[in-house]
Each structure stands twice: as C-alpha cells, then as structure tokens.
Structure 1
Amino acid sequence: MEFERMVREAAVTSSSLLLESYGQHNIGIRLQREGGLHLQVNGPSGQRLGCMGMPGTTILCKGPTSDDVGYLNIGAEITVLGDATNGACNAMANGKVYIGGSIGSRGLTMTKWNPEYDKPQLWVLGSTGDSFAEFNCGGIAVVCGVNPKNPDNILGYRPCVGMVGGLIYFRGPIDDSYPRTNARLDQPNDQQWQWLVENMPVYLGKIGRADLFSTLTRRDEWRILATVTPQERALMFSGPMPMAEFRNQFWNKAFGGGDPLRDLAPGLDRSVIETIVTGDLRRRQPYWANSEAAAPCTFYCPIHIPTVERLRLIREGRIDEAYEMLLRYTPLPASVCGAVCPNLCMENCSRRGVDGPIEIQILGRAVGNFPAPTPAESLGKKVAVIGGGPAGMNVAWQLALAGVEAHIFEKDGRIGGKLAQVIPWERLSQAIWDVEIKRFLAMPNIKVHLNVDMDKEQFAGLERDYDYVVIAVGAHEPRRIPFPGHERVITALDFLKKAKSETPMAVGREVVVIGAGNVGCDVACEAYRLGAEKVTLIDIQKPLAFGKEKEAAEAHGAVFRWPVVTKEVTPIGVVTDSGELIPAQTTIISIGDVPALPFLPETIETMSVGGAAWITTDQAHVTSNARILAVGDVEKPGLATNALGAGKTAAEYIIADIKGEKWQPFTKPLIPHKALTITHYFPGDSGPTESDQADRCLSCASCRDCHLCETICPTGAISRREIEPGGSDRLLARQKTFEYVSDDNKCIACGFCADTCPCGIWTMNAF
C-alpha cells in the first residue's frame, strides 16, 4: 500500500515513472494523467499489474508478473517481457496486453466489449494454461507458440468454454477439449490474416523480438477458434427433442414441485399425468404471422417504404428489383432519404438494440442513377397538380406510374419547392439533385408548366379541364412579428432562396437569427458560408433544432440562446426584453412559413391556426370538394418526407377512384419490440455497402427463413413448404414462395417457436 501511494503521488508531477519492483501488488492501478502516463517496472511485479488500467497509460514490466495482469483493464497498454501467471486480462474491456512469455490458467476470461470501442487484445509469445478464454465476450487473443510451456497443447485444457464473442488466433497443436457449441476451429480468412500480419510487427516490437516476424507470418501454421453464434448453435441441435427429454427438462419443471391440494388431501397421488396435450386440447395455438405487422422502419416512415423487403431483395442479389421497388414509393430516394430526411426509420430501427441502426442514407444514395420504372398503360385520365415541391412531385410520379397524365403548375422557374430553393447544397448534393430531377422530368405522362402564378380564374379552368386537382403549393409566406425595427429584418425564406442563387445577399460580420429551429440552423450555415464570423440563434423557448441541421450549425460555431424575447431591432443589433443588446449587422427571422392561397375557391374549407389558413382534408387528403385534394404544408407543416408520403397517399386515392375500387389506407400495426428475439444477432461494424446493411437487418415482422422454429420445435410439428406466388398484396406476392406451418396433431403449445423467432413472426394465440 505504501508503494502504491508513492507511485500515485509521483504520477501527479511526472508523466514518465521508473519503478524498482520486488513483487509489489497493484502497480499502475487506476492511474491516468492528461497527455498520457508511462510506467517502466524493473524487476518482477506482484498481482494486478495495470489493474483497471486507463486509456493513455502504458506500462512496461521488464520482468515476469503475477496473477491478474490487466484485470478490468479499460484502455491501458501493458507489456510484460517475461511470463505472467493466472488470470491475465480477466474481465478486460479495452486496451492491449503484450506478454513476452507464457501465461497461466484462465487468461482472457469474462472479457467485455462495447461495440463503440476497439476490442480488447491479449498477445502471448508462448502458450496459455487451462480454461483459456472462458466466457470470453469479445476479446481477441494471439498465441504464438514460441517456446511454449506445453508444446503439445498450447491453449491448455478446455479453452473457450462458454465463449460468446471474440476470436482466438493460435500457432501450434491443441487437443480436442474445446467445446464445439462455443468455438469453431478454422483457418484465418483473408481479412483476419491481414489483421494479424499488420499488427504482428507492433507486438514483436513491444517485446523486443522483431527477429521472429518471418517465423510468425507463415499463414499455413496459424489457425483460429471463432465464436459460434447463437443461430449456429441452435442449428446444431437439429431434429426434434425426444419427448422424455422435453418432459424432464421443461414440462416437469414448470410445475414447481407443489400443488394447492397438499394440505387438504396429503395422500392424494400428485404425480404428473403422463400425457402432453395436442390438437383441440391445447390452450394456445401457434400462428405464422408473416408480414402482417409493420417493421418500425416502415411504420414510422411517412411514405411507409418497406425497407425490410428492400433489404431482403438486396441479400438475394436482386438489386434491380430493390431499386425499382423503392422508386415506386418516391422519386427522390437519394435526395431525401439519402440526404435531407432526419430518417425516422433509423431513429426507430430495432437494430439499435444490438449496435446501431441500418444506415438508410447508404441505401437511398445508391438509387440515384437508377432509371425510372416503366409506367402502366394509360387510364385515359389527367390530373392537375398545383405546386412542384416534394408533395406535388410524388403525386405526379405515382399517377404517371399508374398510367394517369399529370400536369404540374409551378410558380417558380424550377421544380423541387424548398428542396431546390432553400436547402443548402452542402446538405443536399446538387449533383445528386440534378440527376433525380432529370429522371423525374423524363417520366412519361408528367408535364411541367413553370412560372405559373395561379389565380382564381386559372383554378376554375383546371377544375373544368382536369379530372382531379391537387393543391400542393406548400408554405411560402414567411411569418413576421411587428416589433419596432421589423423592417430591418430579413426573412429566412428570402435569405435562403438568395443564398442558392447567383447573387446571394451580403451579410455582416455578426448575424442574429430569430428562431432556432432547423431552418434557422440552415440560415446560420449559409451565413457562415457567406462571410459571417459569429452567428447567434435566439428563441423564446428551448430550440427545436435537432439532428444533422443542428450539428452542422454547431460545427460552424453557431451559438444558441434561450429564452430570449426580441424587443427591438436596431441598426447595431437586437435588443432583448431585458435590455441587452446582441450585436448584429444582419438580423434574419426564422419562425416558420404559412400557405399563400389567393386562388382558393371559397367552397374549399380551411382552418385558421395562428392567423393563417390551412386547407382541411380527410385521411385521403380529399378536401370539401371530392375532386380537389390538398397535400403537404398546405394541410400542416411537416418534413419533406411527410410531403412525399401525403403525395403518395393522395395519388393512391385518385387511382383507386378512377378504377372504381375502394381506397385502402396503410393500416398495418407496429410489431411489438418484445416480439423480436434480438439476442440472435451479434454486434459488429456497420459496413459502407448496401450488402453490409442488408446483412445487418433484423427483418422485423418478415420471415428470414432461418429454420430456427423448425429446428427448436421439440415435437417436430413445424415444417416449411412451398406455396404458389400471388395475392392482392403486391409486396407479399413478390416474396419467397414459402411458408412455415404447424401440425396441430404434433404441436403441444410450448411456445418455443415464438420465443426463438428472431423476426417476431410466430405468435401464440388463444385457441
């Protein structure tokens, strides 16, 4: 204890310590110093060298060390030039331990791994003792087999018992005592071998044995023990469990050893009745509810894009089908899903319970250059769409795909609405946008009329000449506050439109933005781009900004202040109600926009909220006139994705009405998170390709055909069978032509199928 106290005091004043050790314990325990700390230990070390080692700490022990080197290590780098005894790296969660000799028993046991950090590493030049990597949960070990203590078995007796994560590289012979249900013997693949070769020089340099590099980089001499995943382990037990085994292991235990009649009838025979009911005697019945619920990504997406189905097609190599399916939901997957959308699908992705959400932006951007789907034959109808923003674009897109001629009447000189007019190009790539607009304009049945300033007379003409009229003009009238000096204030909409033009507005060195929402963040970013040195966003409440927009503004240096009430705007800045002057040469207001509807007939019902008129619609976006619909921000403010979703719904209603069919809204319920068995999935890095994301998908509410239910059923009641494709649901009809069924004469209603199903397909319903 005295030695440990001396070391801790010395570490306060010096970043490099030389220690003379004669077996003292706890050297380096919990030590950390800003800028890093290095300890050199001359002589043998006692127990717990580097225990609870912290990031930035390095320890070099020039002699051997006793038990528990690196115990509970969370980031330190520890090098031991001699041997280490038992418990090396026990419960280590991060960091690296380099051993220049051999280690004793129970090395690398109970390691932990947080996927947000690097995996803990243990390197051993010689061999290990018994029970190596027991209950390993993520640690990587490299055992080189150079001068091992046990040349015939360099990993000792029963390595990897209970291992559920991590990887063991080894060179040399081992016996057959490792458990096959926890570890799989294999050769390193190319990626694993590359890792080993790249990291080997670092290790050999640490222990002073660079001369061994050529000896230790002969690939055919190395093998690995890889973790058996839960899915692989389940499939090992193929075939039904014998009924006697099931009864002893599960059924009998459920009775708990007691009954309510013991006191009343002590002599009553209470032995288990030798039967397990099937058929009509069961209280519950398994049901394969494939695709009857919605995955969170689909449920929370305003367009209800079936992402699970898209990823399934990608896994099967049917990339073109996956792209075409997405384009039947939105004409702007790369621009919106891949860039500007806050991705509600990712926020609610079930994969977050394993490591991180599916990267939808990767999937959206991949579809940028893919051609449009082929439209259906003409239905002989035409629809007028007033407004060429995302809502109006998706109305026209969906109608054109269905064979309906769509005419867009746009007030601006280009289509795209606020996406084209105000979203900064640093958030929405102009190259991607131009490609998607080109694809949109090339779609047959879409006619675009620009620079049309709609009035009541023109609107009446559209009602007369078209089968339906869809109002999708968005909200382009900025809100204003009549405080003193309001005439000096620039609206966010005007500022952002000019910022994307060839003649952007000039800004002062200091800028104040009144309103700290996401649009205000876009204003701040553009102000910095145009030369501002300081941007302050003020609001009367906690800022509503979130996600990528807020992160971008903060990255530029924008400051958020609240609660702040604007009293007056002067030539030198904004005066608050407390009398404070916030200096500003440019003041911009960003408190939202409202619809401008001078062309709207009085017969169309509206609702007044906050001094603005919003068009009243039903679930299908139909107004008080059955042939006039309204979508997007003219109904209520929302995201670009909300506008796209409203456009698709309105188009589907029109198509159904034209065909004389009943329109069906999206009604699938959200699959309960508790129905999923996410423990089957192993954390891992999120790769940069579509295939990487497809492999990570949990396939919520959609059968992944993993056979786990079939394998785990104790009576063999579940089987897989082929079915004919078809059905009214286009997506279901395109899925794999199979289903899983349960034989009522074999099923005992144990619920194992529902408990193990990773996708939440099997449910146990009351009989």
Structure 2
Amino acid sequence: MGKITGFMEYQRLKEASEEPQKRLKHYKEFTVHLSDAEAKIQGARCMDCGIPFCNNGCPVNNIIPDWNDLVYTGNYKQALDTLHSTNNFPEFTGRICPAPCEAACTLGINEDPVGIKSIEHFIIDKGWESGWVVPQPPAVKTGKKIAVVGGGPAGMAAAQQLARVGHDVTLFEKNDRIGGLLRYGIPDFKMEKSHIDLRVKQMEAEGVTFRTGVLVGKDFPANILNWSKETISPDQLKKDFDAVVITGGAEQPRDLPVPGRELKGVHFAMEFLGPQNKVNAGDKVKDQIMATGKHVIVIGGGDTGSDCVGTSNRHGAASVTQFELLPQPPEEENKPLVWPYWPTKLRTSTSHEEGCERDWAVATKRLEGKNGKVEKLIAARVEWKDGKMVEVPDSEFELKADLVLLAMGFVSPVQSVLDAFGVDKDQRGNAKATTDGEGCYRTSVDKVFAAGDMRRGQSLVVWAIREGRQCAREVDAFLMGESLLPR
C-alpha cells in the first residue's frame, strides 16, 4: 500500500451529514461524500493485510485494497475502473449497502475498520462529476434476444452485462419507473432516484430497451405495489425471446396474524413507503397513507422499519415507536468470536437519530379500535427459554396507535409470478436454481433463468447485483457456447 503505516496514524472519518432537525424538512439525501483530502487519508488506512478478508466479505468481491490504494495515490479514474470491474452500480451500494466488507476488515479486529463504503461513495460520485461514467455499447451484435423480468438491481445488472456483449435485451418492469424496491422501497433521503435515472440513460445508450408498466403474468396480489397498465404472458416471452431471466424482488411481506389486523390504519410498510416516493417524484397519489399528527407504531426492527421511522418523522408524526421481537443486541460485538462474519450488535440508523422510541423483546398480542379504525396496540414482553419464545408473566401493556406499520421482512417472491412461469420452487417459495456447477441459475423451465431475490429470497442490494452479473454470464454461455463476461 502507498502508506504502510497509515492505519496507525489516521482515524476513521465519518461522512458529514445535515443536522437531524434540518433534514426532517425535506426528502433529499443529507450525507456528503468525502473530499479529495479526506478520501486520501481514509484510503491510507488500508493496511496491506496480506489476506484481504474484505474481498470475500463483499458479495460482489470488490477489489477493495486496490482501489483504496488508488484513491490514496490520487488515481481516481483507475480507481473507478477497478470498482466498476466488479460492481455495475456502486452509487447504489455506496449509499445503502450495510457494508459487510467493513465487518470483515482485518483492521476491524482491534480498531475501527477502514471506511470502505465512504471511499466507494467518493469514487463513484467523483466519476459522475468528472464525466467518466459513459455508455459501453457493444462492438458487435449477436442477434440474440433476451427478456429480463424485474427492473430492480438484479435485473438491471443482468441487462447491462448482456447488452454490453451484444445481445438485444428488453427489461420488463411492472411499475411505472425502473428501479424495483430501490425506486419504491428505499426512501429518497437514503438514495435519490436521480442515480437510477442516470444508469437507465446509460443502459439505453448501450442498447437496453425498457418497458415499464408491464406485468408478466396475472393475478397479482393487491397488497404489493403494482402500477402496471398492460400484461404479457410468460409463454409469449418464451416464444419471442431466446432466453428469459426472472429477477423480481422478494415482495411478499410477512403478515401479523393477530386479532384486529383488519382494522383501518394497519398497513404493510411498502404501502406506506412506495407512494411517498411517487409523491417525491411529482406524482399525485390518491388516498396516500400519512403519519401527520398520528401516533405511529412500527413493528419490525430492521432497515425497512427504520425507513418507516424516517418517513413518519418527515410527515410530522405525533410520536413514533418501533418494536422488535428479538432481545436488544449488545452495543459492541464480540469481535474474536464473530470476525470476519456479519456481527449481531445494536445498530442506530440516521432515522433513529431523528427521533424514535425503540423497544425490544416485544410481541404484539392484538389491535383494538372503534368504528373499524385502530386506536391502540396491546403487547407483552417476551423472553427465550429452552429455545422457545415465551411471554413474560404480567408484562402486558398497551400503546396509543393511530397508524401501525408492518415491517417484519419479506417471506418470498410473489408466488403468482413463479407459478405463471411454471418453475420449480424451493422450500421457501423461491425459484429453484443453483449458483454453481453445470446449468447454474437455470430454472426447471427451458431457457428460463432466475437471479436475485427471485432465486435467493430477501437479501441485500449487493447480493442482487452479484446474482444479476453471474446470471448474465450463464445466459451468455447458454446462448453462445462460451462467455467472456466476468463471474
């Protein structure tokens, strides 16, 4: 590395951000990428550890030490090329990835890990600002036609890779804009949608055709965001294209089967988050769910729950309370026990910093209200005994609730889509396909492939990009007999 002793000389630097009370007044991003001088110092902290566990901690296997060193030496264009060699969309991951690479950082054993995510954020923003991110159209067209179903990060990555080697790619998205859950699941204050729009323009210049508002299949669940205007059958796609890649998200939310679930004011998180993003984009949404002046309870302690907290506060909620079924995790992980794997520890998001009551080991027992509208939530404390969760005696309590948001994760892809294609499914309801050996990413249906959440279930954006890239290589090899695409 360029600065052998940098990890001993410099401290980790957190990216600057707008104060909570100011950023609550808008939906724009409030975190600022590092300056050139700050990025240089953060890159210098990469310690030439010999075995860079960060590479394997990162699902797309980013070549992290290389671009850390290139940033330290000021070779920003080369750093961008190195970053793009493994990751099609670092502006997405540099903003919303939880950074498992940092959990695997060797320096993190006894110090703050290298700020890998902030350096990635710096590199890609530098690239866009400098005009280095340009279309890469193919030199030769193959004449092969491929349909990609699902416009999220997995579908976008697969489509871009396949277009760059000369295939004619059409990407179908049921909603009115490209991006999947990046577009209508991630709040704008975490990632503005202009980043998706820039990539769409790049991909169009590379030969990708986008068809939005098109639902593949039919009988789509009413509780899942779907702004489609037309439908097309899987049989038609298989007839019109040489290969089909299904890359939809794991959109089927986990429900809460308790008395009172049917009351008005109880909603899945995506019913709350997606319409707000449409409003931010300038659309008019009829009967938008608002938290203004309401006592909001968010059930679920993950990222989606945190997004509900941040959006509720921007609406002007009277109060926001977030419950988690599991016990409160420790503030610091036991590094000798868990490193280099993803640790269980208390994580406080920027939305939590903006105002929220958090509680753990809480189970909802029922919801009560009047005239068909929720008014309160009755819950109880729980604990784990002999491997089972049991209610703590005499621990029942109630809270005022005008709006209850269910953010307990997603159980599977939409089953009607998989059923329409007729593909075999695994025990969790995902499309059944392997990721290694002969025929990987292929489903049980001829020339139909699956990747991302559609194959692996609910996961991270960085896993979606990895699977989209790897699946693209397999589709290319299937059509051409071999592939030069990286895996």
TM-score by length of 1: 0.46
> Which has a greater percent of helix?
2
User: What is the Cα deviation at residue 586 of structure 1?
Assistant: 0.9
Paired position in structure 1 for 2:430? 614
User: What is the Cα deviation at residue 400 of structure 1?
Assistant: 1.0
User: What is the Cα deviation at residue 603 of structure 1?
Assistant: 4.2
Secondary structure at 1:486 match in 2: coil
Paired position in structure 2 for 1:604? 423
- 2:98 counterpart (331, 337, 342): 342
In the superposition, relative to structure 1, how do residues 294 and 586 fare at CA in structure 2: closer, same or farther (>3 Å)? same
Paired position in structure 1 for 2:375? 572
Paired position in structure 2 for 1:595? 413
Contact 1:346 1:360 (8 Å CA) reproduced: no
Contact 1:521 1:549 (8 Å CA) reproduced: no
Q: Spell out, residue by residue over 1:589-622, the C-alpha distance to the aligned partner (whole angstroms, 9 max, x if none).
A: 111223113243474110233xxx2111111322
In the superposition, relative to structure 1, how do residues 406 and 597 fare at CA in structure 2: closer, same or farther (>3 Å)? farther
Paired position in structure 2 for 1:629? 449
Counterpart of 1:572 in structure 2: which amino acid?
A: E
Alignment map for 1:459-498 (pairs within 5 Å): 459-488=234-263, 489-498=266-275
- 1:301 counterpart (28, 33, 58): 58
- 1:401 counterpart (164, 167, 192): 164
User: What is the Cα deviation at residue 343 of structure 1?
Assistant: 1.7
Distance 2:454 2:328 in 1: 24
Structure 1 residue 659 corresponds to structure 2 residue 485: no
Q: Spell out, residue by residue over 1:125-158, the C-alpha distance to the aligned partner (whole angstroms, 9 max, x if none).
A: xxxxxxxxxxxxxxxxxxxxxxxxxxxxxxxxxx
Distance 2:417 2:206 in 1: 28
In the superposition, relative to structure 1, how do residues 395 and 509 fare at CA in structure 2: closer, same or farther (>3 Å)? same
User: What is the Cα deviation at residue 321 of structure 1?
Assistant: 4.1
> Whose RCO is larger (CA < 8 A, sep 6+)?
2
Contact 1:327 1:373 (8 Å CA) reproduced: no
Distance 1:446 1:547 in 2: 42
Secondary structure at 1:572 match in 2: strand
In the superposition, relative to structure 1, how do residues 351 and 386 fare at CA in structure 2: closer, same or farther (>3 Å)? same
Paired position in structure 2 for 1:412? 175
Paired position in structure 1 for 2:210? 448
User: What is the Cα deviation at residue 514 of structure 1?
Assistant: 1.2
Secondary structure at 2:233 match in 1: helix
Distance 2:139 2:127 in 1: 21
In the superposition, relative to structure 1, how do residues 532 and 424 fare at CA in structure 2: closer, same or farther (>3 Å)? same
Counterpart of 2:233 in structure 1: which amino acid?
A: Q
Paired position in structure 1 for 2:125? 365
Secondary structure at 1:535 match in 2: strand
Alignment map for 1:87-236 (pairs within 5 Å): none
Q: Spell out, residue by residue over 1:15-64, the C-alpha distance to the aligned partner (whole angstroms, 9 max, x if none).
A: xxxxxxxxxxxxxxxxxxxxxxxxxxxxxxxxxxxxxxxxxxxxxxxxxx
Distance 2:378 2:362 in 1: 10
Percent of paired sites with the same residue: 27
Paired position in structure 1 for 2:333? none
Structure possessing the higher radius of gyration over alpha carbons? 1
In the superposition, relative to structure 1, how do residues 550 and 307 fare at CA in structure 2: closer, same or farther (>3 Å)? same
Alignment map for 1:271-286 (pairs within 5 Å): none
Paired position in structure 2 for 1:586? 403
Secondary structure at 2:325 match in 1: coil
In the superposition, relative to structure 1, how do residues 346 and 431 fare at CA in structure 2: closer, same or farther (>3 Å)? same
Distance 1:604 1:653 in 2: 18
Paired position in structure 2 for 1:511? 296
In the superposition, relative to structure 1, how do residues 596 and 549 fare at CA in structure 2: closer, same or farther (>3 Å)? farther
In the superposition, relative to structure 1, how do residues 364 and 575 fare at CA in structure 2: closer, same or farther (>3 Å)? same
Contact 1:573 1:585 (8 Å CA) reproduced: yes
Paired position in structure 1 for 2:319? 534
User: What is the Cα deviation at residue 428 of structure 1?
Assistant: 0.9
Contact 1:522 1:549 (8 Å CA) reproduced: no
Contact 2:90 2:120 (8 Å CA) reproduced: no
Distance 2:160 2:349 in 1: 33
Counterpart of 2:105 in structure 1: which amino acid?
A: C
Counterpart of 2:269 in structure 1: which amino acid?
A: A
In the superposition, relative to structure 1, how do residues 319 and 377 fare at CA in structure 2: closer, same or farther (>3 Å)? farther
Contact 2:146 2:169 (8 Å CA) reproduced: yes
Alignment map for 1:607-756 (pairs within 5 Å): 607-609=426-428, 613-619=429-435, 620-635=440-455, 636-661=457-482
Q: Spell out, residue by residue over 1:616-674, the C-alpha distance to the aligned partner (whole angstroms, 9 max, x if none).
A: 111132212352111111221100111011000000112233332379996xxxxxxxx
Contact 1:342 1:548 (8 Å CA) reproduced: no
Distance 2:90 2:425 in 1: 32
Q: Which stretch shows the higher mean deviation, 556-565 or 401-410? A: 556-565
Distance 1:327 1:116 in 2: 27
Contact 1:469 1:629 (8 Å CA) reproduced: yes
Distance 1:495 1:652 in 2: 37
Distance 2:251 2:60 in 1: 23
Counterpart of 2:101 in structure 1: which amino acid?
A: C
Counterpart of 1:538 in structure 2: which amino acid?
A: F
User: What is the Cα deviation at residue 350 of structure 1?
Assistant: 3.2
Contact 1:400 1:443 (8 Å CA) reproduced: no
Q: Spell out, residue by residue over 1:281-319, the C-alpha distance to the aligned partner (whole angstroms, 9 max, x if none).
A: xxxxxxxxx9xx973232222112223344455567654
Distance 1:663 1:436 in 2: 23
Secondary structure at 2:366 match in 1: strand
Secondary structure at 1:371 match in 2: coil
Distance 1:656 1:317 in 2: 38
Distance 2:75 2:137 in 1: 17
- 1:437 counterpart (184, 194, 200): 200
Distance 2:81 2:485 in 1: 22
Alignment map for 1:543-554 (pairs within 5 Å): 550-554=348-352
TM-score by length of 2: 0.70
Secondary structure at 1:384 match in 2: strand
User: What is the Cα deviation at residue 546 of structure 1?
Assistant: 8.2
Give the gaps of 5 or more residues in structure 1.
1-112, 118-190, 192-230, 232-289, 667-767
Alignment map for 1:300-339 (pairs within 5 Å): 300-311=57-68, 319-334=76-91, 336-339=92-95
Contact 2:443 2:449 (8 Å CA) reproduced: yes
Paired position in structure 2 for 1:58? none
User: What is the Cα deviation at residue 472 of structure 1?
Assistant: 0.8
Contact 1:535 1:559 (8 Å CA) reproduced: yes
In the superposition, relative to structure 1, how do residues 403 and 416 fare at CA in structure 2: closer, same or farther (>3 Å)? same
Paired position in structure 1 for 2:32? none
In the superposition, relative to structure 1, how do residues 373 and 323 fare at CA in structure 2: closer, same or farther (>3 Å)? farther
Paired position in structure 1 for 2:29? none
In the superposition, relative to structure 1, how do residues 515 and 485 fare at CA in structure 2: closer, same or farther (>3 Å)? same
Distance 1:315 1:376 in 2: 34
Counterpart of 1:472 in structure 2: which amino acid?
A: T
In the superposition, relative to structure 1, how do residues 638 and 598 fare at CA in structure 2: closer, same or farther (>3 Å)? same
In the superposition, relative to structure 1, how do residues 406 and 628 fare at CA in structure 2: closer, same or farther (>3 Å)? same
